[in-house]
Amino acid sequence: MNERADYTVIILTWNSRQHVAACVESLREAAPGYRGDLIVIDNGSEDGTPDIVRRLAPASRLVQNQVNRGVAAARNQGLALARSPVSIILDVDTVVMPGAFARLLRFLEETPSVGVCGPRLVLPDQSIQPSCQLFPTVIDKIVRQLPARLGERWLREVELADWDHTGVRDIDYVVGACQAIRMSALYSVGWLDERIFYGPEDVDLCLRMRLRGWRVTYLGDAIVRHECQRVTRRRLNALTVRHIRGLAHLYRTHGYLFSREGLYRRIESAPAPVVTPEPAPCKQAS
C-alpha cells in the first residue's frame, strides 16, 4: 500500500466473481493525478473472487473474512486500515467512469465543510439511479411496495426525480454504492454502525454527519455505472429480514418514523463540525 496515498478505495466482495474484474480495472483511470490505495474486504467468498483480486491488483490489501460479516462491519475493517485523508467506499458491481474520483477528491479539497459526497450513479442502460434522496420514512418504504402507478408521485418527491441530477446539491444522503468520506469527519461522528448488517448503514452515516454539522453533497458531474443488484427485492429471505431489522434500528436510534421534520429541526440546530485528527478505536456507532 502507498503510505502517502491521497485516497483509499474500499471494496467489499462476497461471491463477486462476475463483477470484481470490471470494477477493479475501472479504478486505473478514476483519479488521474492522485495517488490511491485499494483495500478489498472479502466476506467469505467461495467462487474464487480473492484470486481475481490478487491477479488484477497485486499491490492491494486483501482481507479475507471466514464468514459474511455484513456490510458495515466489513467496511469498517477497510476504513480502519486506510491511511489517507479520504476513503471511498465502493460497491463491487460498479464501473467508475474516467476522472470520476478525481472530481470527488477535488470537491472535498475545495469544500472543507463537506463530510461525505457521492457521484451520479447510472444504470447499465444509462438511466439515472436515484442515488441522492431524502431520509427514508416508514411511509416511503410502504409506498415502494405498492404498484408503481400508485406510488409514483410520492416517490418522485423522495427521490428528487424532477431534478435533472447533473448539478451539485447538498442532500439528506447519498447511497453507499459510492461514498467519498472525509476521514476526519468520520472520526468525529463514529464508524459505520455494525448493528446494521445490510442497509441502511449509508443513511445512518449521512444522518450522523448532518447532525454533527457536516454537509452531505451530491455531484452530478462525477459518474459511476452501477449494476444495482436488488438482492433484498428478489424474495422474502434472510437478507430481507436483516434489511428490515436495519431499518427498525435506524428509526429507533434516531427517533423518527413517519416524518423527517423533526430531523430537519435537529440538523438546523447542529453545531459546527468538530474535527478529530486521529481515529478513535473502530466500534459500533451510538
Question: 89, 82, 98: which is closest to 13 by C-alpha?
Answer: 89
Domains of the chain: 7-268 (3.90.550.10)
The predicted structure's pLDDT at residue 144: 86
State residue 220 phi and psi, 5-degree precision. Answer: -75, -10
Residues ≥6 apart with Cβ < 8 Å to 142: none
The predicted structure's pLDDT at residue 273: 87
Q: Identify residue 29 by its one-letter amino acid code.
A: E
User: How large is the average pLDDT for residues 66-87?
Assistant: 97
Predicted TM-score of the model (pTM): 0.92
Q: Which residue has the higher pLDDT, 167 or 285?
A: 167
User: How large is the average pLDDT for residues 35-62?
Assistant: 97
CB 222 within 8 A of CB 169: no
The predicted structure's pLDDT at residue 147: 84
Residue 136, pLDDT > 70, answer yes
Residue 120, pLDDT > 50, answer yes
The predicted structure's pLDDT at residue 256: 95
Residue 280, pLDDT > 90, answer no
Average pLDDT in the chain: 92
- pLDDT-derived band of residue 236, with 50, 70 and 90 as boundaries? low
Q: Which of 51-60, 88-97, 234-243 has the lowest mean pLDDT?
A: 234-243
How far is the C-alpha of 88 from the C-alpha of 38, rounded, in Å?
A: 10
Residue 235, pLDDT > 70, answer no
User: How large is the average pLDDT for residues 251-264?
Assistant: 96
- H-only helix segments in the chain: 17-26, 49-56, 71-81, 100-110, 138-144, 148-158, 183-189, 201-211, 238-254, 261-268
User: How large is the average pLDDT for residues 1-18?
Assistant: 90
CB 163 within 8 A of CB 50: no
Strand pairing partners for 180? 88, 117
The predicted structure's pLDDT at residue 151: 84
* pLDDT 10s digits, 181-208: 999 999 999 999 999 998 899 999 999 9
